[in-house]
Amino acid sequence: MITDHVMSIYCQHTSKMNRLGGSELPGSSISGGARTGTLHETQHFRWNTADVLGKGATATVFYGRNKDTGDVCAIKVFYERISRHIPSTRHREIDSMRRLQHDNIVKLIDLEKETDSNTEVLVMEYCAGGSLYSMLEQPQYAFGFPESEFRLFLKHIANGIRYLRQSGYIHRDIKPGNIMRYIGDDGSSLYKLTDFGAARELQEDETFTSIYGTEEYLYPRMYEQAVLRRPGQQDFDASVDLWSLGVTLYHVSTGMLPFQPFGGRSNSETMHKITSQKPEGALSGVQISPNGDIKWSNSLPDTCYLSKSLKALLEPMLAGLMELNMKKMWTFERFFATVEKLAFSVQLQMFSCCTGELMVLYVGPEDTHPYLQEKIAELTEIPASSQLILWHDSELKDVIDETSPMRSYPACIRKTRLYLMNSSCMGTGSPYMVVVPPFPEISKFDNLDLDCQSAKKACGIAHVLNYAVCQYLSQQKNLLKGETNFRRYLKRIVKHSELVVPEMRATLEQTRMRRESFSAAFTLLLNLFTILDTSLNVEELVTTVLGVKTQLNEPLRQLSECLKDRSFEEFFEKINSRLSEIEAYVDALSKRMREQERSRRFCTSGCSEEDRCLTKAESFKQKLQSVYSLMTRHKQYGDLHPHEKFIHYCEKQKQHSIGVLMASLVSQHCRHNLNTTFSDSQKEFGNLTKHLTRTKKVELNICSVKDSLQTLSSKLSEKEGKCRHIVERVISIVRSSLSNRKPSVGTLISLRNEE
């Protein structure tokens, strides 16, 4: 049995009732008037048949209330033919919902019988957010979910299916119409699986032969038997849920079905051809003309809202889920593990100043800085050696431990945008732009259905344009912010150089003073020893007795040569000269940077607050939303009286004119300003990159001078040690000679006096 595509109209009342009807359903704009439905009730619950939440092949779901507490609920009433002739469907769903209790599965509140017909009805929790299908029908999701909502949906649906598999169940009809959005008291979303009429128990090694599902989401071999009615019986296993899940995920991420034959559902042969002959790795196949070729794609469309990083994770997942070869098809375990890894990943917000792109990076909690650089290289083609990642005005690697896992990064880093530059090459390329489809042409003919489709598409594109304006404004802002951070980073480096050079000069001066002090002391000793050598001229007797003169000649000569050595002074002058050069270079660099910064202050490119771009875009979007709402009502009316036809014509023209104005705002104003801002910023980034190269040269020179200062100090220490050793030898010679003399010094002096 094939269920029809569920047309849920959840929490939105522009129903197919007549224009005077009323409804209690939340979202209704009609507060009075005659009821179009009738009241039905069970022992504890009551509902109006006008309040339809959704219709399927086996039942209708109504918006109801508890008669005692007033609590709202969803009441599923099976069609009479199902209740009488196919009771297994009803019993299977009741049995499944009684057993399955999980946050991501719609809860069964009660099972009661309708008072008049005695038919069993399911009383379930009410999900105010509606079905996923009804969400995707809304213009704001025409090109898929925004990234944060998609990640939430993926996590919730994976948790629900994981619970089903752990409980030994398969759903067999996974699709947007069977996934509900529950809204919590805090406004948070919780996605839940529902409609277990096709669900059954099935263990890992078991198969089944019965056919269930919805055409667009059916596994190809199932489609072959169920839709094309091909003869023969085939066995199926739990992997049919994986295929349906893959199609659903593609639909939610892009706003469109992955496999689209020309003519849609009616072209079943081509639909089967697309799904059954899909190349390995292909995510979508679209036929745009009758009997035309299939256009395959291995990637998600550029129009979806997901970041490159998330797309890179999602694309292999979708390819694996929608794989025809069972040996290559992903398993449930692999899918659950991948989603769990994504759920626990660390998100880093980054802005690429090279392309003006707002990026989101997903890295594991145990990954380190080198892995982050690899990830960036994959997404941007900037090698790790050329990446300059700034956190405010500091390089990221300077404020974190490069070997530490991402989970240890402070929240101030994980929650603050990082700025990426290419330290080797900046100032080239073009900015990243949001891909925006063109507005549809309005029909020249009066066709309510086509006009409604056109208005819906125009409204969806208006949401993309509104998103584009937000992106362009943010890109302009972040280009200037990145430029400011880069400049401040360079100023910190220059400031550090300006502080280090005087410190090195002070060190050099200390070394010079130490050299002078050493030289003065040892020169004094040399003079003293020389005087001692010449004053003790006691002729042959003294020389013979003391033996000093001969032994002192050599060490005194060595000490004299050591003190006369000019290599230290020459090295000192070289260092002093290099320091002066660095000082002059840093001073000129600092002055040049200040001049360029001063000139950038007067730059006025880009959108300003006075332009009110976002307000204008929002206004255009709301006007197109109003046109779509009117077209929807007119489509429901069917026949329009003359005044309504006039209104209809005016609104069609309004749709066209607003579309032109909005497209002009985005392309000729915001996009143009982004190009101008990007061009100006790239020139400045080019200058700053050159300054970065210069600061690196300064740092290399500073490091070289520091090494030279260390060498100079070592040379001085070596010279001091050599002179000290010579002095110790002289002292040792004198002391040794005096201690070995035969007459005393007094005797020698007496002998001299007598002579």
In the chain, domain spans: 39-335, 344-422, 450-612+660-739
Tell me the pLDDT band of 533, cut-offs 50, 70 and 90.
low
Residue 419: what pLDDT? 97
Residue type, 527: N
Asked if 3 and 213 count as a contact pair (C-beta separation under 8 A), the reply is yes
Beta bridge partners of 535: none
Please tell me the least confidently modeled range out of 99-113, 217-231, 314-328, 543-557.
Answer: 543-557
On the question of pLDDT at 513 being above 50, the answer is yes
On the question of pLDDT at 29 being above 70, the answer is no
CB atoms within 10 A of CB 118: 8
CB atoms within 10 A of CB 64: 27
On the question of pLDDT at 752 being above 80, the answer is no
What digits encode the pLDDT tens for the residues 321-370? 999 898 899 999 999 999 999 999 999 999 999 999 999 999 999 999 99
Tokens 């001091």 label which residue? 720
Tell me the pLDDT band of 545, cut-offs 50, 70 and 90.
very low
Asked if 125 and 303 count as a contact pair (C-beta separation under 8 A), the reply is no
513-535 average pLDDT score:
70
Domain 450-612+660-739 has CATH 1.20.1270: yes
Tell me the pLDDT band of 22, cut-offs 50, 70 and 90.
very low
On the question of pLDDT at 457 being above 50, the answer is yes
Share the mean pLDDT of the chain: 84
Which residue has better confidence, 11 or 173?
173
Instruction: Give percent above pLDDT 90 in the chain.
Output: 53
Q: Which CATH architecture has domain 344-422?
A: Roll (3.10)
602-627 average pLDDT score:
91
Residue 201: what pLDDT? 60
Tokens 């892995």 label which residue? 371
User: Which of 475, 521, 496, 499 lies closest to 670 in space, CA to CA?
Assistant: 475
On the question of pLDDT at 249 being above 90, the answer is yes
**What secondary structure letter does DSSP report for 384?**
G
Which residue has better confidence, 739 or 646?
646
What digits encode the pLDDT tens for the residues 117-167? 888 899 999 999 999 999 999 999 999 999 999 999 999 999 999 999 999
Tell me the pLDDT band of 207, cut-offs 50, 70 and 90.
very low
C-alpha dist (Å) from residue 710 to 514, 662, 720:
14, 67, 15
On the question of pLDDT at 318 being above 80, the answer is yes
What digits encode the pLDDT tens for the residues 52-68? 998 877 889 999 999 99
Give the list of residues 6+ apart from residue 682 with CB closer than 8 angstroms, or none: 426, 427, 428, 429
On the question of pLDDT at 384 being above 90, the answer is yes
Tell me the pLDDT band of 14, cut-offs 50, 70 and 90.
very low
Helices 642-664, 613-637: inter-axial angle, 10-degree rounding: 150
Determine the Cα angle at 402 with ends 396 and 368, to 5°.
105
Residue 7: what pLDDT? 33
Asked if 705 and 504 count as a contact pair (C-beta separation under 8 A), the reply is yes
Could you tell me the two tokens for 224?
């072959």
C-alpha dist (Å) from residue 367 to 37, 198, 338, 364, 372:
60, 42, 16, 5, 7
Residue 4: what pLDDT? 39
175-183 average pLDDT score:
94
The reply to whether 76 sits in an annotated binding site is: yes
Tell me the pLDDT band of 575, cut-offs 50, 70 and 90.
confident
Could you tell me the two tokens for 350?
């980054």
User: Which of 162, 197, 203 lies closest to 178 in space, CA to CA?
Assistant: 197
What distance in Å separates the CA atoms of residue 194 and residue 134, rounded to the nearest whole number? 14
What digits encode the pLDDT tens for the residues 260-278? 999 888 888 999 899 989 9
Identical fold, 39-335 and 344-422: no
Residue 199: what pLDDT? 73
On the question of pLDDT at 90 being above 80, the answer is no
227-252 average pLDDT score:
82
Tell me the pLDDT band of 243, cut-offs 50, 70 and 90.
very high
3-state secondary structure of 287: strand
Which of 295-299, 589-593, 729-733 tops mean pLDDT? Answer: 295-299
Superfamily (CATH) of domain 39-335: Transferase(Phosphotransferase) domain 1 (1.10.510.10)
User: Which of 440, 487, 371 lies closest to 631 in space, CA to CA?
Assistant: 440
C-alpha dist (Å) from residue 508 to 19, 406, 493, 571:
93, 43, 22, 11
Residue 551: what pLDDT? 63
What pTM did the predictor assign?
Answer: 0.83
On the question of pLDDT at 730 being above 80, the answer is no
Residue 746: what pLDDT? 54
Could you tell me the two tokens for 287?
């036929």
Where do the DSSP E strands lie in 132-257? 169-170, 179-183, 189-193, 200-201
Tell me the pLDDT band of 732, cut-offs 50, 70 and 90.
confident
What distance in Å separates the CA atoms of residue 61 and residue 605, rounded to the nearest whole number? 56
Containing 729, the helix (H) or strand (E) segment is helix 672-739
